[in-house]
């Protein structure tokens, strides 16, 4: 109680919006906040490392306004298959076709360059799509032959249940195999293999025939051909003209329908990205939320308060308007819900619960839903089922063979399950996230993609430097506390437990921002004194000494040489008085008013 009361007066008035948790203040100088900025700026002129970090921060700030997405060979192939309405034997987007011919990898495959990942099924899918697109227009014979060789060498992976699959693979890949046969492409596979995959697709479709899974079928509709009602697909056309923000599904729909919305969407994509398209667009809102989440998880959010505030306000506005960027995608909705809620915005879990109508199909979706479920209120019991479902799915995933998940996402899932949001200490949580951070992290939908907004070495560089800087501050603060204990002779009290490091850790793990140095010291001193006084009343002092200490505290302005009945009373009282005066003086420097008398009243 003493610790909470005494440290509370260190909180200075703030003009920030009450729903936000960002701290405003200095970094190191606990006595003169205004001096820190000047000192840091001057140091930056002479210290190349500080200048480098400033450049790192500036690059991160640019990510808030510039969403970068890798090109998708798979989706570009489907766009390349769209015929011209004026000449059905010619492609509508010939530059996409040229891009495919110029971007085959050395091993004959198509996919992300310079990337070694376990998703061979993704590479098979992208390669087959590109082969089909080239054959559709009878170009690129050499590229087709090289691609077929790659498929022949790796086709066994397609039916390997131990290999992780991209979204909709069991429906899309067999559909493309059928399309390849229609184009007389000589596929290097046995008829039994093809029959097995078509049978698996049939099983998938039987499981998917329900209203709640129509969206899933619309999303993978390019793999369905004539097996699905394309009028149902067009029910999921979005305001931007796309089918669920998927270029491949939109291209397949444009082949079936000369839909101006689909055409406008694809044309605008190529205007923006050049001769190739990403696997999903737009992704701006999700990308910016991911930046906010990453910065918070790595402990460096305070460096980007303005940018984060803008993202939060924009996201909340979209949430209230039920923007389709949020409410047509479970991952985005779960992330938006969690980030908004932990930053104090009023959002209901009902809105998230309503759109989770299908079984989980990938780790990222389940992980985001599980994390969101950790922030629900007691009265939101309806969402507890989603917490259990997502947890069960994640446990199942990490129990599978190691090649199902990358080591980074495996550790991330393990940590989320082992340490729920409400049971984490900030700095330990930050340290764990830094250790598990994957600079080369990719995301997987129907194909693998990467974005510097999600995974960026600048995040890690700044996070490591910031963490080490904070650790050095904590070490100096702890040394100062240890000196204070010795100077006030608290270490000489044989009855008292020596809990300096313990008391300091309890606050540093929660009030971790460098600018909260004074609050940490206040809390730690108060906690140390609470322990000492507790021990004094329990075992250290006689009834006379206890009564004497109470009298001294109530009187406060005493002559310790004459009014204290023992050395122990003298030491305890002087230490308490020193701490109270320090808190009063320090609070005055922050708030510009004397609160010492209020602190004394709290102690009494």
Domains of the chain: 73-273 (1.50.10.160), 282-455 (1.50.10.130), 462-603 (1.10.600.10)
What is the C-alpha to C-alpha distance for residues 441 and 270, in angstroms, rounded to an integer?
25
555 pLDDT exceeds 90? yes
- When pLDDT is cut at 50, 70 and 90, the band that residue 41 belongs to is very low
Provide the token pair at 87: 């000449």
Over residues 255-270, the pLDDT tens digits come to: 998 899 999 999 999 9
- Report, as an integer, the average pLDDT of 125-148: 97
What is the C-alpha to C-alpha distance for residues 126 and 70, in angstroms, rounded to an integer?
14
324 pLDDT exceeds 90? yes
- Report, as an integer, the average pLDDT of 172-194: 90
- Report, as an integer, the average pLDDT of 555-569: 93
474 pLDDT exceeds 60? yes
Over residues 494-552, the pLDDT tens digits come to: 999 999 999 999 999 889 999 999 999 999 999 999 999 999 999 999 999 999 999 99
Q: What is the pLDDT of residue 211?
A: 55
- Taking alpha carbons only, the member of 504, 571, 562, 501 closest to residue 532 is 571
- When pLDDT is cut at 50, 70 and 90, the band that residue 398 belongs to is confident
- Report, as an integer, the average pLDDT of 123-127: 97
CB atoms closer than 10 angstroms to residue 22 = 18
- When pLDDT is cut at 50, 70 and 90, the band that residue 405 belongs to is low
Q: Rounded to two decimals, what is the model's pTM? A: 0.85
Q: What is the pLDDT of residue 290?
A: 97
What is the C-alpha to C-alpha distance for residues 39 and 428, in angstroms, rounded to an integer?
29
- Taking alpha carbons only, the member of 291, 297, 294, 289 closest to residue 334 is 289
Measured in whole angstroms, how far is the alpha carbon of residue 343 from the centre of its chain? 14
- Taking alpha carbons only, the member of 296, 300, 291 closest to residue 466 is 300
Over residues 335-361, the pLDDT tens digits come to: 999 999 999 999 999 999 888 877 787
């Amino acid at each position: 109680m003493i610790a909470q009361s005494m440290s509370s007066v260190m909180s200075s008035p703030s003009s920030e919006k009450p729903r936000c948790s960002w701290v405003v203040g200095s970094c190191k100088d606990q006595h003169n906040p205004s001096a820190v900025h000047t000192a840091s700026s001057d140091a930056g002129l002479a210290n190349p490392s500080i200048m480098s970090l400033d450049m790192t921060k500036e690059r991160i700030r640019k990510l808030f306004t510039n969403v970068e997405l890798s090109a998708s060979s798979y989706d570009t192939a489907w766009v390349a298959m769209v015929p011209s309405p004026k000449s059905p034997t010619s492609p509508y987007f010939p530059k996409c076709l040229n891009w495919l011919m110029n971007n085959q990898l050395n091993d004959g495959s198509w996919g992300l360059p310079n990337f070694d990942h376990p998703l061979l099924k993704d590479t098979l899918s992208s390669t087959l799509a590109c082969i089909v697109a080239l054959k559709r227009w009878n170009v690129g014979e050499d590229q087709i032959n090289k691609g077929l060789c790659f498929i022949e060498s790796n086709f066994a992976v397609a039916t390997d249940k131990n290999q992780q699959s991209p979204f909709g693979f069991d429906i899309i890949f067999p559909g493309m195999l059928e399309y390849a046969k229609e184009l007389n492409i000589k596929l290097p596979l046995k008829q039994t293999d093809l029959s097995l995959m078509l049978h698996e697709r049939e099983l998938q479709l039987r499981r998917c025939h329900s209203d709640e899974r129509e969206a899933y079928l619309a999303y993978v509709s390019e793999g369905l051909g004539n097996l699905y009602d394309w009028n149902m697909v067009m029910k999921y056309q979005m305001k931007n003209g796309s089918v669920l923000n998927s270029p491949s599904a939109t291209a397949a729909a444009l082949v079936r329908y000369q839909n101006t919305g689909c055409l406008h969407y694809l044309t605008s994509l190529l205007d923006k990205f050049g001769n190739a398209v990403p696997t999903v667009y737009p992704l701006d809102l999700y990308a910016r939320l991911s930046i906010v989440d990453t910065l918070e998880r790595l402990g460096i959010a305070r460096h980007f308060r303005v940018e984060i505030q803008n993202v939060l306000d924009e996201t909340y506005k979209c949430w209230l308007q039920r923007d389709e960027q949020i409410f047509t995608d479970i991952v985005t909705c779960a992330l938006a819900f969690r980030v908004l809620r932990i930053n104090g915005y009023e959002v209901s879990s009902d809105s998230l619960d309503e759109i989770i109508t299908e079984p989980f199909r990938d780790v990222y979706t389940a992980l985001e839903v599980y994390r969101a479920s950790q922030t629900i209120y007691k009265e939101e019991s309806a969402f507890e089922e989603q917490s259990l479902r997502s947890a069960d799915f994640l446990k199942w995933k990490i129990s599978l063979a190691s090649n199902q998940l990358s080591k980074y996402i495996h550790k991330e899932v393990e940590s989320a399950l082992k340490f729920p949001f409400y049971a984490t200490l900030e700095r330990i949580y930050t340290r764990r996230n830094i250790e598990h951070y994957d600079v080369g992290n990719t995301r997987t939908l129907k194909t693998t993609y990467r974005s510097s907004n999600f995974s960026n070495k600048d995040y890690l560089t700044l996070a490591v430097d910031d963490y080490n800087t904070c650790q050095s501050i904590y070490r100096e603060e702890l040394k100062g506390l240890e000196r204070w204990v010795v100077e006030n002779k608290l270490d000489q009290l044989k009855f008292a437990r020596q809990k300096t490091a313990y008391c300091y850790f309890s606050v540093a793990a929660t009030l971790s921002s460098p600018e909260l140095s004074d609050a940490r010291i206040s809390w730690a001193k108060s906690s140390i004194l609470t322990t000492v006084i507790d021990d004094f009343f329990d075992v250290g002092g006689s009834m006379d000494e206890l009564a004497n200490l109470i009298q001294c505290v109530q009187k406060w302005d005493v002559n310790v040489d004459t009014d204290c009945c023992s050395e122990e009373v003298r030491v305890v009282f002087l230490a308490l008085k020193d701490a109270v005066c320090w808190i009063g003086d320090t609070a005055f420097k922050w708030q510009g008013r004397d609160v010492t008398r209020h602190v004394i009243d709290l102690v009494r």
